[in-house]
Amino acid sequence: AMEDVSAKFVSQKISRTRWRPLPAAALQAPDLFATGSWDNEDNRISIWSAGDLGNAGLNGEYHGEPHLLCDIQHNGDVMDMQFLDQERIVVASSTGTVTIFRHHQNNHTLSASHRWEKAHYHVNQDTSCGGAACTGVVCNNPEIVTVGEDGRINLFRADQKDAVRTIDNADSSTLHAVTFLRTTEILTVNSIGQLKIWDLRQQRNEPSQIFSLAGDRVPLHCVDRHPNQQHIVATGGQDGMLSIWDIRQGTMPVSLLNAHEAEMWEVHFHPSDPDHLFTCSEDGSLWHWDTSTNVSEKPSFLHQGGRSTAYLSHSTINQSVVSAWLSNDPTKDRMEITNLIPNQTLSVNSLDVLGPCLVYGTDAEAIYVNRQLFA
Amino acid sequence: TPLMDTVPPQVVPGADPSARQLCFAWGPAEVLVCETLFDRAGGSRSRCLSWSPSPSRLWGEGRAGTAARALTGSVAGTGEGAPSFSRVFVVRRDQDIYIQTLRKLFNESHGIFMGLQRSEEELAGRSRKAQLVQVSKNYRSVIRACMEDMHQAAVSTRDPALQGQYSTQVSILSAMELIWNLCEILFVEAAAAGPLLLRLLDWVRLHVCDVDSMVQEVLSSESPSKHKLFWNVVDVFVLQGRMDEARHLLSKEASANPISMNMYKILDDLMKKMPVPNHGNTQTLTELELKWQHWHEECQRYLQDGTFASNPHMESICKILLGDEDAILEKKELMTTWYHFLVTRLLYSHPTVKPLELRFYAQSSMDLFLGGESSPEPLDMILMAAFEFEMHQVIKECSIVLSNWWFVAHLTDLLDHCKLLQSHNLYFGSNMREFLLLEYASGLFSHHSLWQLGVDYFDHCPEYGRVYLELHIERIPLSTEQKALKVLRICEQRQMHEQVRSICKIMAMKALRNNRLGSALSWSIRAKDAAFATLISDRFLKDYCERGCFSDLDLIDNLGPSMLLSDRLTFLGKYREFHRLYGEKRFPEAARLLLTLMTAHIAPCSFWMTLLTDALPLLEQKEVIFSAEQTYELMRCLEDLTAGNPDKQKFQDDDVETTKVEMLRLALARNLARVIVKEGTVEGS
């Protein structure tokens, strides 16, 4: 419900929001998150406290808006951002630079601890060399993979000065996002509707597999992998379409689901409850996709602003254990989808989910925290 | 070149119009001002400043926006002149846009504005009014929230200059809220006689906070009645019509003074009995007036028979209750403003004042209060105009006094939704609402980051919004592809084809300059720009001819339906398909495709030689691939190429080319011989 959401206007357009990861086996809810801004003369990385957790109200609701703990200037737009561990954040810049910032938790300050200048760059016709936007970053401590508008893939190690590996011209179009498939394999999406798997152990500079959208090559902007079933991958495209892929079979998506009306900027499976998926878009909406409801037990209804779901499946293969995401029998398994922001007009650029908590940021210069997602 | 980023609206510091002529170049949200070579007498030739159509885009992405534009201007202005003339000033029309803390105001009010535009016009009278009043209150709560933030900032900063700035902002915001609130009561809610007074009382209580600290001090003291400011606080409560609080305080004093108990009781009783208009419709105005008259006479009686004569404090309160102007004016310090005086005066002498009578009381209250000692300030004039129901005057004065367009644009839009401004058309442009919204949105667009908000405001300007948007959107620097996509989405949603094409072309050009052919191609595919797709395809083919292999295979192999965008792109895709077939040793299919590329004129003539050369290895294969008919066609292609065009004579002089042609002729002849034998054998058997 909307009442559980606290908002704060922060006087900068937010391009990324990320929860600080919780230590293993921690039971408490996440309390700190980081944001990055874009399109400002002076862009910033900021660390926020999610609000006063000690002050649970009478009905158990939380009060207090997020408050700023510390921030630091960042050169260029923040294009992407990932926590490397509990203290370090890796930030991708529109200048092509990749920076590791350290959050000193005892005195709440931020400092740049390492920087790869122009990790992404263009070589112009006059052979001068200019930075190219780094569009995506993913971490698996100590490894860091970045992709960019230059179609380049970089593999860094947090403790090494130079790139461990660089694949120049890995893609002839812009790479928009990257994620780990397994420890040695990564997934990338690009601006001509392709999903590619790269095996970093192999020395050849070519993807081990290419998947692609049929028909118009609609650009893909974001990608996430199912946390438990690694063959299930979700991507979001320029037309707002959510595609679910089964990378064990075929070269096309298993299903295409339509809810957003413009670019889908981020897609995230819930890390511990992957029946739930969250997407946000340029059209100002944030959809919660829920496959946990069984239609036979409970009549499916659509919440405010909800629209019917569309299934366009391309293959029907019998599987003994079918994940709800791969099932394509709309009568049996129904997806319940809810728009968590009914009246927003400007883009929701980023979201992150952890435990019962959701954080998202917008071009309307506001950050929102919902701490009772499943209430 | 000195750059003045923000300067007061009237004076450009450093520019001296008395010494030199100034010239201006008008941009959409800024003015460039520079000194010219004209002397005062005139005569000399002028050099012109030019406002380049989209300089920030043409001059790269260094410092986007204003600075880049200003530098461009200064370059234009200094090209040929003496160094002393090289000053260019940037004058912005909306200063407040650049105040960091106010961004909250702009963003949050944008949401309210959009809600108002979407709101149901069909709602019936009363619920529509309730809706509009709610919108007005939402706007005010945003102003107040901003004020609080600004106040916090002022308190927490150590820099005195900054502190001064914040404090100024707090007082500006506070004045804005004061004006808005009054407009809400008088225009949006249009409170009728009776409730009108209650609203005005709330208004005064909310905004006259100078006395709050005094009240707090007295109330929190150990024994309030002993405090030296005790009677002041009682007076404040009475002047603001806060009867319950006044009586509560008085009761403390009474219990400490058993001798004058009776006097207190009488005053308490009078205060308790004072008739006030109520919110519900349980009593008519006539009933109220009757009760009022009765109560008034009772007060009069007590005053005349000297009941309070022994206590000047209580006597003066009784006089106030009777609406005695002199008695009220004596408390000038406690009211601090003439509009407080006005409302107190109304409360105790004209509680059923009608909206249109306000102007008379307002004018005389101001005159009495200021008493010729000081002249009214702009804020006084604005409030006076509101009391006079001169809405246009209010907006005009606010436009002049305030350093932002936010206030007048949003207030005017709200009043327009209340259907209060329809009759008023300006002699320029469209109506006032649209004019002010355009000004505000143009200011937003001049900001490096707030431009996105401006789009929605332009959308709700039916007459010129579209044109403004078209002009402004072209000036947004496209620093990253992501930003370009956002701008593109705005244009696509509004069918701004021209701008869509131009954005894609700019991005495609950039990609091309960076040797990113794949990206360049996808931008031109998005814009359906066939000419540019052809250009890029030619680059691909040129690269192929030079290097002998294709770059960006991942793209070319996946062109899909977009291949049909331009003939050259189709050829590129098909030619690549030929190479794939050849690579997979599917020679007959490869041969057929190669021939079709020429005979169906898919391949550009300039490329035929390459295609024919590609046919060579096929002709040399062990088994015969080209049929007799196909061989004849290949021969015709070769002859067309070599003989058809007299210009080609030169190219025949080229030794390498001559050898190539001869080799081809030989290979074709041999293939023909082999195929005649083969076909003859097959048919003969």
Provide DSSP, B342-375. Answer: HHHHHHHH-TT--GGGHHHHHHHHHHHHHTTTSP
The answer, for B138 touching chain A at a CB cutoff of 8 Å, is no
Q: State whether A172 and B480 contact (CB < 8 Å).
A: no
pLDDT tens string B594-648: 889 988 888 888 888 888 888 888 888 888 888 888 888 888 888 888 875 555 5
Q: State whether B479 and A191 contact (CB < 8 Å).
A: no
Sort out which chain A residues have CB atoms less than 8 A from B103's CB and list them: 9, 11-12, 365
Q: Report which of A171, A167, A150 is spatially closest to residue A203, judged by C-alpha positions.
A: A167
The CB density around residue B201, as the number of other CB atoms within 10 Å, is 18
How far is it, in rounded angstroms, from Cα A328 to Cα A324?
8
| pLDDT of res. A60 | 47
pTM above 0.90, yes or no: no
**How near does any CA of chain B get to the CA of A318, in Å?**
30
Report the residue of A77, A172, A251, A285 to disrupt the B interface, i.e. the one with the largest count of B CBs within 10 Å.
A172
| pLDDT of res. B14 | 63
The answer, for A129 touching chain B at a CB cutoff of 8 Å, is no
Taking CA–CA distances from A152, the nearest residue in chain B reads B516
Q: Chain B window 509-528: which residues touch A at a Cβ cutoff of 8 Å?
A: 513-519, 522, 525
B558, B525 Cβ separation under 8 angstroms: no
- Pairing status of strand A175-182 against strand A232-237: unpaired
Compare CB distances from A173 to B448, B493, B555 and report the shortest one's residue. Answer: B555
Q: State whether A9 and B489 contact (CB < 8 Å).
A: no
Alpha-carbon B105 to chain mean position = 11
Q: Which residues of chain B have pLDDT under 50?
A: 1-10, 44-85, 684-685
How far is it, in rounded angstroms, from Cα B288 to Cα B441?
48
Total domains in the fold of chain A: 1
Q: Chain A window 325-344: which residues touch B at a Cβ cutoff of 8 Å?
A: 343-344
The answer, for B657 touching chain A at a CB cutoff of 8 Å, is no
User: What are the strands, taking DSSP E only, across B79-132?
Assistant: 88-92
Does residue B23 come out as left (phi exceeding 0), alpha (psi in the -120 to 50 range) or beta?
Answer: beta
**H or E stretch including A55?**
strand A52-56
Alpha-carbon B537 to chain mean position = 40
User: Could you give the C-alpha distances from A225 to A45, A271, A360, B451, B616, in angstroms and in order?
Assistant: 26, 10, 20, 35, 49
Sort out which chain B residues have CB atoms less than 8 A from A364's CB and list them: 107, 110-111, 453
Sort out which chain B residues have CB atoms less than 8 A from A125's CB and list them: 513, 515
Distance in Å from the first CA to the final CA of chain A: 8
How far is it, in rounded angstroms, from Cα A348 to Cα B590?
50
| pLDDT of res. B675 | 85
How far is it, in rounded angstroms, from Cα B476 to Cα B161?
33
User: Would residue A310 count as lying in a domain?
Assistant: no
**How near does any CA of chain A get to the CA of B179, in Å?**
25
Sort out which chain B residues have CB atoms less than 8 A from A13's CB and list them: 449, 452
pLDDT tens string A96-136: 999 999 999 999 999 999 999 999 999 876 666 689 999 99
- For the segment A69-74, the average pLDDT, to the nearest whole number, is 96
User: Would residue A304 count as lying in a domain?
Assistant: no
**How near does any CA of chain B get to the CA of A298, in Å?**
34
How far is it, in rounded angstroms, from Cα A132 to Cα A101?
21
The answer, for A282 touching chain B at a CB cutoff of 8 Å, is yes
Q: State whether A11 and B554 contact (CB < 8 Å).
A: no
Q: State whether A172 and B518 contact (CB < 8 Å).
A: yes
The answer, for B325 touching chain A at a CB cutoff of 8 Å, is no
**How near does any CA of chain A get to the CA of B274, in Å?**
41
Q: State whether A171 and B518 contact (CB < 8 Å).
A: yes
Residue B169 or A250, more confident: B169
The answer, for A276 touching chain B at a CB cutoff of 8 Å, is no
Supply the Cα-derived Rg of chain B in whole angstroms. 41
Edge-first strand order for the sheet with B30-35 is: B22-26, B30-35, B88-92
Taking CA–CA distances from B110, the nearest residue in chain A reads A364
Q: pLDDT-based confidence at A314, cuts 50/70/90?
A: very low
- Pairing status of strand A276-281 against strand A264-269: antiparallel
Cis peptide preceding A142, ω within 30 of 0: yes
Report the residue of B96, B483, B485, B526 to disrupt the A interface, i.e. the one with the largest count of A CBs within 10 Å.
B485
Q: Is the pLDDT of residue A285 over 90?
A: yes
As a whole number, the mean pLDDT across chain A is 85
Q: State whether A173 and B448 contact (CB < 8 Å).
A: no
User: Would residue A286 count as lying in a domain?
Assistant: yes
Amino acid occupying residue A115: R
User: Would residue A200 count as lying in a domain?
Assistant: yes
Sort out which chain A residues have CB atoms less than 8 A from B487's CB and list them: none
Residue ranges of alpha helices (H) inside B20-97 are 55-58, 66-78
Long-range contacts of B63-68 (CB under 8 A, 24+ apart): B63/A41, B64/B448, B64/B477, B64/B479, B65/A41, B65/B446, B65/B447, B65/B448, B65/B477, B66/B5, B66/B30, B66/B90, B66/B92, B66/B446, B66/B448, B67/B3, B68/B477
How far is it, in rounded angstroms, from Cα B371 to Cα B444?
43
How far is it, in rounded angstroms, from Cα B477 to Cα A41?
12
Residue ranges of alpha helices (H) inside chain A are none
DSSP conformational letter for B429: S
How far is it, in rounded angstroms, from Cα A255 to Cα B285?
69
Q: State whether B486 and A216 contact (CB < 8 Å).
A: no
Q: Chain B window 194-253: which residues touch A at a Cβ cutoff of 8 Å?
A: none
Where in the sequence is the domain holding A105, given as residue range(s)?
5-23+32-293+320-370
| pLDDT of res. B420 | 85
User: Would residue A153 count as lying in a domain?
Assistant: yes
Q: Chain A window 157-216: which residues touch B at a Cβ cutoff of 8 Å?
A: 169, 171-174, 191-192, 194, 210, 212, 215-216
Q: State whether A123 and B110 contact (CB < 8 Å).
A: no
- For the segment A238-262, the average pLDDT, to the nearest whole number, is 90
Q: What are phi and psi of B252, to 5 degrees?
A: -65, -45
Residue B19 or A290, more confident: A290
B362, B346 Cβ separation under 8 angstroms: no
Taking CA–CA distances from A38, the nearest residue in chain B reads B449
User: Would residue A306 count as lying in a domain?
Assistant: no
Sort out which chain B residues have CB atoms less than 8 A from A216's CB and list them: 560-562
User: Would residue A308 count as lying in a domain?
Assistant: no
Q: Report which of A267, A350, A277 is spatially closest to residue A17, judged by C-alpha positions.
A: A350
How far is it, in rounded angstroms, from Cα B360 to Cα B350?
12
CATH of the domain at A330: 2.130.10.10
| pLDDT of res. A282 | 96
User: Would residue A67 count as lying in a domain?
Assistant: yes
Compare CB distances from A94 to B111, B480, B562 and report the shortest one's residue. Answer: B480
Query: Does residue A78 sit in helix, strand or coil?
Result: strand
The CB density around residue B35, as the number of other CB atoms within 10 Å, is 22
